Amino acid sequence: MIAANLPPGGARAVSRCDALGAAPYSDMEGGLFRGYLTPAYAASQVALAAWMEAAGMTVRRDAAANLIGRYDGRLADAPALVIGSHLDSVRDAGFYDGPLGVMLGIEAVAALHEQGRRMPFPIEVYAFGDEEGSRFPAAMLTTRAVAGTLDAAALDVADAEGITLAQALPGSAEYLDARREPAATLAYLEAHIEQGPVLEADGLAVGTVTGIAAQLRYAVTVKGMAGHAGTTAMRLRRDPLAGAAAMILAVEQLARGDNSDVVATVGTIEALPGAANVIPGEVRFTIDVRSGSETRRNGMAEAILARLREIAEARALDLGTVLVHDLAASPCAPALMDLMDEALVAAGQPVRRLVSGAGHDAMVMASLCPTAMLFIRCTGGVSHNPAEHVEPADVEIALQVMLGFIDRLGDSFAA
């Protein structure tokens, strides 16, 4: 079996992620792409199931094709601690975004099993299938199914090849049966690479996540007057691309000037008609605003939109803004953050709390149960990229912190 020659621990978790980075566990040549319900996804589940069973778990797939390993607790009817992350990936991905959290869940159970220990509650390790949304035009389908927040209409989707979800998953009519009962779920724990540079900048291996940032996304349209690039005098132009450039700089300046956790990003821009010798008549771009505080996020978004209106008016341009989505902040449970901090100290690590600017399965699971997250340092903060890297020593520290967290959760449960 791949990675079987390594002893249990953080290094084995990393090695197993590496092993799943190539055929038959990837759907692309020369890189990693693991789409939901693809042959690579199925092959990866086979490998994961074997590792879960070796760690002492019973294994099943739910109606949404999530792979679940269960390690029974001492109390048969106790609610379960769910440990999870996702198995799918973006195209040309790194090896650790998602799978590392699953591998660490398996390693945590393996450590308990090797010691012959059972917690008062069962532990269920979930390998979620669709966090990225990189196959079907929807994200977190499988997590939303488990949390009970998925509308059946969201399942009426097809991939780029025209294959529907129903065709890809026989039995999808029972998809919503993947829902967990709140009374059967004690808490949710997710370990994940930070996907940012904070821990590395602070010289830290791990940190306690306080929550997932609130997010607003806008589609912006700026309209002016198209014209010939050679015959339209500069003073007579109503150039929406020049106006959009001023707006994009304003987005950056306002967010930088706030000197807080607020981030604002223009991720796409399109000029129409898109010819080198034509002054554009219309420009479209997106704005993404995030903060751990919805109040700060909303205040920044209002300031940005006000400045965009000023620029448009000064340049005689027409401005349109559409709110594409509004994601509320997803705070981690304060009591669980305290347990995580205690586990950090017990593992010889300083306490460091930080917010997640990226979305994770935990933000959906928060509607089902209290959540906790542990971030792991990644080199350069690079993610969604083949250069994504973690040090096995950092992952070993993360494993020890997770085991300490589980112990403390067990103590508080018994109390």
97 labelled ligand-binding: yes
277 labelled ligand-binding: yes
H or E segment and range at residue 35: none
Of residues 32, 140, 174, 40, the one with CA closest to residue 95: 32
Q: List, in sequence order, every beta strand (DSSP E) within 195-246.
A: 206-212, 214-223, 227-228
Distance CA 405, CA 370 (A): 14
CB 186 within 8 A of CB 178: no
Question: Residue 303, Cα to own-chain centre: how many angstroms?
Answer: 27
Distance CA 13, CA 41 (A): 18
Contacts of 161 (CB under 8 A, 6+ apart): none
Determine how many CB atoms are found less than 10 A away from the CB of residue 44: 24
239 labelled ligand-binding: no
Phi, psi of 182 (to 5 degrees): -55, -40
217 labelled ligand-binding: yes
Q: Coil, strand, or helix at residue 327?
A: strand
Q: For the chain, how long is the longest CA-to-CA vector?
A: 82
Distance CA 258, CA 288 (A): 16
Helix axes 334-346, 392-414, angle to 10 degrees: 120
389 labelled ligand-binding: no
Contacts of 116 (CB under 8 A, 6+ apart): none
Measured at the alpha carbon of residue 14, what is the angle toward residues 69 and 91, in degrees to the nearest 5?
Answer: 85
Distance CA 98, CA 376 (A): 12
Q: Could you tell me the two tokens for 80?
A: 């379960």
Phi, psi of 125 (to 5 degrees): -100, 120
Determine how many CB atoms are found less than 10 A away from the CB of residue 229: 12
Q: Which residues contribute to the annotated binding site? A: 86, 97, 132, 192, 217, 277, 290, 384
Q: Which residues are annotated as a binding site for allantoate?
A: 217, 277, 290
Instruction: Report the binding-site residues for Zn(2+).
Output: 86, 97, 132, 192, 384
